[in-house]
Amino acid sequence: MAEIEKLGNFTTTDAPEYEDILQCMRCGFCLPTCPTFSLTGRERSSPRGRVALARTVGEGKMEFNQAIKEEAFFCLDCRACTTACPSGVQAGSLMEICRAQVAQQQPLPKWQAGFRTFILEKMLPNPNLLETSMLPARLYQKLGIQWLVRNSKVLKLGPEWIDKAEGMLPELVQPLRKKLPELSPAKGEKRGTVAFFLGCVMTLMYAEVSRQTVKILNHQGFDVITPKTQKCCGAPHLTEGDPETARQLASHNLDLFLDLDVDAIVTDCGGCGAALKEYEEMLAEREDHQRLQHFHSKIRDISEFLVEVGIRTAELKPVNKTVTYHEPCHICHAQGISKQPRKVLESIPGVELREMNESSWCCGSAATFSLKFTEESQKILDRKLDNVKKTEAEVLVTANPGCHLQLAWGLRKAQMPQPVLHLCELLGEATPD
Ligand code: SF4
Ligand code: SF4
């Protein structure tokens, strides 16, 4: 058992480091980059305000009160403030830590606590159970019940978040994890071997993206190993204040992937990539620091990997489309990857990239934020859709399932014509079978 650290009125094992809080010099450079500050104009909903709340609690001058509880969950964890901050303050991560304290201090009603435990501790860590749980949703779509529900408008009678969650469901197909071969061989001259981290939301909601990623890697000359026993990356657990289960999942994935003899561990999910790159910090209490560093050195977002190895373009077919690119926060802010997705787009013959304003501004998805704060999420989304519209591009490209769900739903609702495609779907279209 880890020893309970206590920083002021923080009481969990996952209290923030005081030095991290002290790094904030209150300059305010982060303020214009924060979507929740932009919405409210309220200091406590800004990165600087959130850090100040944490500092007051950490110094024992204030209880862990309602204001900090609310701000912990109202923060999108978009990390835009960290990109802007000259001191490298991580207000988003700090708020993630605060969520663990909320979960501990504020017990939920029994049924909600049971549901939360089932999702976080039973369903997400068990890929078989997770995939089976999607069967009712697939039947709901296949048997035409979805059509009836949508046309009867019955969902308008309930809470807004249920209507939105239902509206976001993409057309579901069978999950891909079990169907993908453990080893997909390289095509043409072999350049190496990579392991593929699937990501649970990606394979459950966008199985075709995962299929295209394997096809692209094979065509680029890489054997692809997809371990069947890989589990959720742990990001949803951090988001919901359950760092202990996140650590268990991280340990499992780290040991599984490090046992493979591969050049890189590649993912096409921005959220998973960011979480995998944080395993070193999450598992800092493990003694095998070299293994942690080794794991970290191998993680690559697909765009980062392709640009690093050099994209073979000779056999790519033209895709004559104008596209614009929405940067997922967990790719541009959390991983610092901005140029690479654009380079991938530019490598596809026929594609014309039209830059949108504020491409790295959050879309308002942010895991469960879009369902917990439907009104605020809609306002953030409207700003994004307005920027998409101005480009007059035919296709909106992104690279994270949360953004994909939110943007596709928003475009449909606004009756805008653009389809949303993952970067790998577009490159996959150009890549021969
Ligand atoms: S979080 Fe960073 S950018 Fe914002 S006020 Fe503090 S030091 Fe300045
Ligand atoms: S992570 Fe995003 S929402 Fe949270 S404080 Fe930083 S900029 Fe604001």
All structural domains of the chain with their residue ranges: 18-105, 135-169, 183-308, 316-430
The CATH classification of domain 183-308, taken from the options 3.40.50.970, 3.40.50.2300, 3.40.50.1860, 3.90.1150.10: 3.40.50.1860
- Which two tokens mark 290? 């070299």
For domain 18-105, is the CATH number 1.10.3210.10?
no
- Residues with Cβ within 8 Å of 335's Cβ and at least 6 positions away in sequence, in order, are 270, 273, 274, 277, 301, 304
Average of per-residue pLDDT across 92-117: 87
87 CB neighbour count, 10 Å cutoff: 15
Give which of 350, 302, 342, 349 is closest to 324, Cα–Cα. 342
Per residue in 121-149, pLDDT (tens digit) is 999 999 999 999 889 999 999 898 988 88
CA of 360 to the centre of ligand 2 (A): 13
Ligand 2: residue of 20, 71, 95 to mutate (most ligand atoms within 8 A of CB) is 95
Ligand 2: residue of 20, 29, 30, 34 to mutate (most ligand atoms within 8 A of CB) is 34
CA of 36 to the centre of ligand 1 (A): 15
* Residues contacting ligand 1 via CB (< 6 Å): 24-30, 47-48, 51, 81, 84-85, 87, 89, 91
Confidence of residue 192 (pLDDT cuts 50, 70, 90): very high
**CATH T-level topology, domain 316-430:** Rossmann fold (3.40.50)
* Residues contacting ligand 2 via CB (< 6 Å): 33-36, 47, 50, 75-81, 91-92
Ligand nearest to the CA of 33: 2
Ligand nearest to the CA of 24: 1
- Which two tokens mark 27? 């300059």
Signed CA dihedral, 402, 412, 350, 213: sign only: positive
DSSP string, 272-299: HHHHHHTHHHHTTTSS-HHHHHHHHHHE
Per residue in 281-299, pLDDT (tens digit) is 999 888 888 999 999 999 9
Q: Which pTM does this prediction carry? A: 0.94
Ligand 1: residue of 20, 23, 25 to mutate (most ligand atoms within 8 A of CB) is 25
Per residue in 143-172, pLDDT (tens digit) is 989 888 888 888 888 888 888 989 898 998
Across the chain, mean pLDDT equals 94
183-308 and 316-430 have identical folds: yes
